[in-house]
Amino acid sequence: TQRTLVLLKPDTVRRGLVGQVLARFEAKGLTLVAMQLRHVDAELADTHYAEHVERDFYPPLRDFVTSGPLVALVLEGDEAIEVVRSLNGATDGRKAAPGTIRGDLALSNRENLVHGSDSTESAEREIGIWFPDL
């Protein structure tokens, strides 16, 4: 079994989709082990997105993730990291396959509703950032 860090980004909260998106993860069979509504500051955004801080797309991404509260959660289950990423769909909502969260509900490359850790190393790092007591 694996744990992964998921963010329901500020667009999910703003659009009233938290319940719908969370329901997809739960329906899949993943177990919720931690959850928190949080309005993040630039420092936490930079820590979470350390590998992207120098990228051209990062300043507007930072503005977006700090634009309102988001929901951070930890999900647990068999192959949870890969399962969450496949439920999330491709980064760009315009290209994500129908049936995925982004494919069904997002139309943007930046405001794409969700984040999921991309490896066991990043899951461990990100869970430590968002839920240091876990």
N-to-C CA span, the chain: 16
**8 versus 77: smaller Cβ distance to ligand ATP:** 8
Separation between Cα atoms, residue 81 and residue 14, nearest integer Å: 25
**57 versus 124: smaller Cβ distance to ligand ATP:** 57
User: Do 7 and 63 meet the contact criterion of CB atoms below 8 Å apart?
Assistant: no
The one segment of 25-33, 35-43, 75-83, 111-119 that binds ligand ATP by CB under 6 A: 111-119
Residue 78: Cβ within 10 Å count: 10
> Among the options 39, 48, 52, 115, which is catalytic?
115
**Binding residue per annotation — 102?**
yes
**Binding residue per annotation — 57?**
yes
**77 versus 116: smaller Cβ distance to ligand ATP:** 116
How many residues form the binding site for ligand ATP (CB under 6 A)?
A: 9
Separation between Cα atoms, residue 62 and residue 53, nearest integer Å: 9
From candidates 18, 61, 81, 105, binder to ligand ATP by CB under 6 A: 61
**What are the residues whose beta carbons fall under 8 Å from the beta carbon of 2, sequence distance 6 or more?**
76, 77, 78, 79, 80, 81, 120, 123
Per the annotation, the verdict on 115 as an active-site residue is: yes
- Residues that are catalytic: 115
Binding residues for ATP, as ranges, are 9, 57, 85, 91, 102, 112
